[in-house]
Structure 1
Amino acid sequence: MSTDQRYVVISSDCHGGAGLLEYRDYLDPSYREEFDRWAAGYEIPYEDLKGEQGTRNWDSGRRLRELEEDGVVAEVLFPNTIPPFFSASSLGSQRAGESRADLERRWAGLKAHNRWLAEFCAEARGRRSGVMQIMLYDIEQAVREIRWAAEAGLRGGVLLPGAPPGSGLPPLYYHDYYDPLWQVCAELGLPINCHSGSAAPRTGDRPEDHVFFMLDLRWWDQHTLRHLILGGVLERHPELKVVFTEEGLGWIPSQLKAMDGFCASMRRDGSEELSHGAQVVGRLSLTPSEYWDRQCYVGASFMHPSETAIRDRIGVDKIMWGSDYPHVEASYPYSKEAISFSYAGVPEAEVERMLGGTAAELFGFDMDLLRPIAERVGPLRAQVSAGVDTAELPAGVVKCPAFAGIVPGSAQARWADNRKGQAGS
Structure 2
Amino acid sequence: MSSQAGNIYPPEGLRPPKDRRGHTGDSLGLPPGTEVFSADNHISLADDIFYERFPERLKNQAPRVWYEDGAFELGVGGKSFLPGEFSQVLMQYDPLTGAGSANLEGRIEELGSDGIEKELAFPNALLALLHYPDKEIRELCFRIYNEYIAELQERSQGRFYGVGLINWWDAKGTRKTLAEMKSLGVKTFLMPLSLGKDDDGTPLDSSSTAMIPVWDAIEEAGLPASHHIGETGLSAPCEVNAIAVGMVANVAPFRETFGKYLFGGILDRHPGLRIGWFEGGANWVPSALQDAEHIHASYHHMLNRPVEHDVQYYWDNHMYASFMVDPLGLELIDRIGVDRVMWSADYPHNESTFGYSEKSIAMVVDAVGPEKAARVVSGNVKEYLGV
Partner of 1:73: 117
Distance 1:111 1:161, change over 3 A: farther
| 1:286 counterpart (309, 315, 328) | 309
Q: Which structure has the larger Rg?
A: 1
Distance 1:196 1:244, change over 3 A: same
Q: What is the CA deviation profile of residues 353-411 of structure 1, one whole-angstrom value per residue up to 9, with x for unaligned ones?
A: 1011111111122xxxxxxxxxxxxxxxxxxxxxxxxxxxxxxxxxxxxxxxxxxxxxx
Partner of 1:179: 212
Q: Secondary structure at the match of 1:131?
A: strand
1:5 aligns to 2:37 (yes or no): no
Q: Secondary structure at the match of 2:217?
A: helix
Distance 1:359 1:49, change over 3 A: closer
Partner of 2:18: none
Instruction: Kindly state the Cα deviation for residue 114 of structure 1 after the two structures are TM-superposed.
Output: 1.6
- Cα distance in 1 for partners of 2:292, 2:90 equals 40
Q: Which has the higher strand share?
A: 2
Instruction: Kindly state the Cα deviation for residue 133 of structure 1 after the two structures are TM-superposed.
Output: 1.4
Amino acid at match of 2:207: Y
1:249 aligns to 2:272 (yes or no): no
1:144 aligns to 2:167 (yes or no): no
Amino acid at match of 2:100: N
Q: Secondary structure at the match of 1:323?
A: coil
Instruction: Kindly state the Cα deviation for residue 285 of structure 1 after the two structures are TM-superposed.
Output: 2.0
Partner of 2:221: 188
1:297 aligns to 2:297 (yes or no): no
Partner of 1:35: 62
Amino acid at match of 1:110: F
Q: Spell out the pairing of 1:344-359 with structure 2 (5 A cutoff).
A: 344=366, 346-359=368-381
Higher mean alpha-carbon deviation, 158-167 vs 227-236, is at 158-167
Q: Secondary structure at the match of 1:344?
A: helix
Between Structure 1 and Structure 2, how many residues are aligned? Answer: 340
- Cα distance in 2 for partners of 1:77, 1:142 equals 21
Q: Spell out the pairing of 1:318-329 with structure 2 (5 A cutoff).
A: 318-329=340-351
Amino acid at match of 2:275: V
Q: Secondary structure at the match of 1:325?
A: coil
- Partners of 1:308 and 1:343 within 8 A in 2: no
- Cα distance in 1 for partners of 2:145, 2:234 equals 22
Q: Could you tell me the TM-score, scaled by structure 2's length?
A: 0.78
| 1:240 counterpart (266, 273, 296) | 273
Amino acid at match of 1:351: A
- Partners of 2:30 and 2:365 within 8 A in 1: no
Instruction: Kindly state the Cα deviation for residue 205 of structure 1 after the two structures are TM-superposed.
Output: 8.1
- Cα distance in 2 for partners of 1:170, 1:151 equals 31
Higher mean alpha-carbon deviation, 336-345 vs 56-65, is at 336-345
Q: Secondary structure at the match of 1:157?
A: strand
Q: Give unmatched runs, 5+ long, in structure 1.
A: 83-88, 268-274, 366-425
Amino acid at match of 1:286: H
Q: Spell out the pairing of 1:19-418 with structure 2 (5 A cutoff).
A: 19=46, 21-35=48-62, 39=76, 41-43=78-80, 45=84, 46-47=87-88, 53-55=94-96, 56-58=99-101, 59-82=103-126, 89-90=127-128, 94-95=130-131, 97=133, 102-164=134-196, 168-198=201-231, 200=232, 214-217=247-250, 220-267=253-300, 275-277=301-303, 279-280=304-305, 283-300=306-323, 302-344=324-366, 346-365=368-387
- Partners of 1:114 and 1:149 within 8 A in 2: yes
- Partners of 1:132 and 1:159 within 8 A in 2: no
When the two chains are superposed, the root-mean-square deviation of aligned CA atoms in Å is: 3.1
- Cα distance in 2 for partners of 1:350, 1:169 equals 46
Between the two proteins, what is the percent identity of the paired residues?
24
- Partners of 2:165 and 2:190 within 8 A in 1: yes
Distance 1:48 1:96, change over 3 A: closer
Higher mean alpha-carbon deviation, 224-233 vs 302-311, is at 302-311
- Cα distance in 2 for partners of 1:19, 1:319 equals 31
- Partners of 1:18 and 1:116 within 8 A in 2: no
Amino acid at match of 1:290: Y
- Partners of 1:193 and 1:245 within 8 A in 2: yes
Amino acid at match of 2:317: R
Distance 1:358 1:50, change over 3 A: closer
Q: Which has the higher helix share?
A: 1
Q: Secondary structure at the match of 2:368?
A: coil
- Partners of 2:278 and 2:321 within 8 A in 1: yes
- Cα distance in 1 for partners of 2:164, 2:294 equals 36
Instruction: Kindly state the Cα deviation for residue 186 of structure 1 after the two structures are TM-superposed.
Output: 1.9
Higher mean alpha-carbon deviation, 328-337 vs 105-114, is at 105-114
Instruction: Kindly state the Cα deviation for residue 326 of structure 1 after the two structures are TM-superposed.
Output: 1.5
Distance 1:353 1:49, change over 3 A: closer
Amino acid at match of 1:75: E
- Partners of 2:342 and 2:376 within 8 A in 1: yes
- Cα distance in 1 for partners of 2:58, 2:311 equals 45
- Partners of 2:39 and 2:120 within 8 A in 1: yes
- Partners of 2:207 and 2:266 within 8 A in 1: yes
- Partners of 1:136 and 1:161 within 8 A in 2: no
- Partners of 2:31 and 2:374 within 8 A in 1: no
Higher mean alpha-carbon deviation, 126-135 vs 20-29, is at 20-29
Instruction: Kindly state the Cα deviation for residue 348 of structure 1 after the two structures are TM-superposed.
Output: 1.9
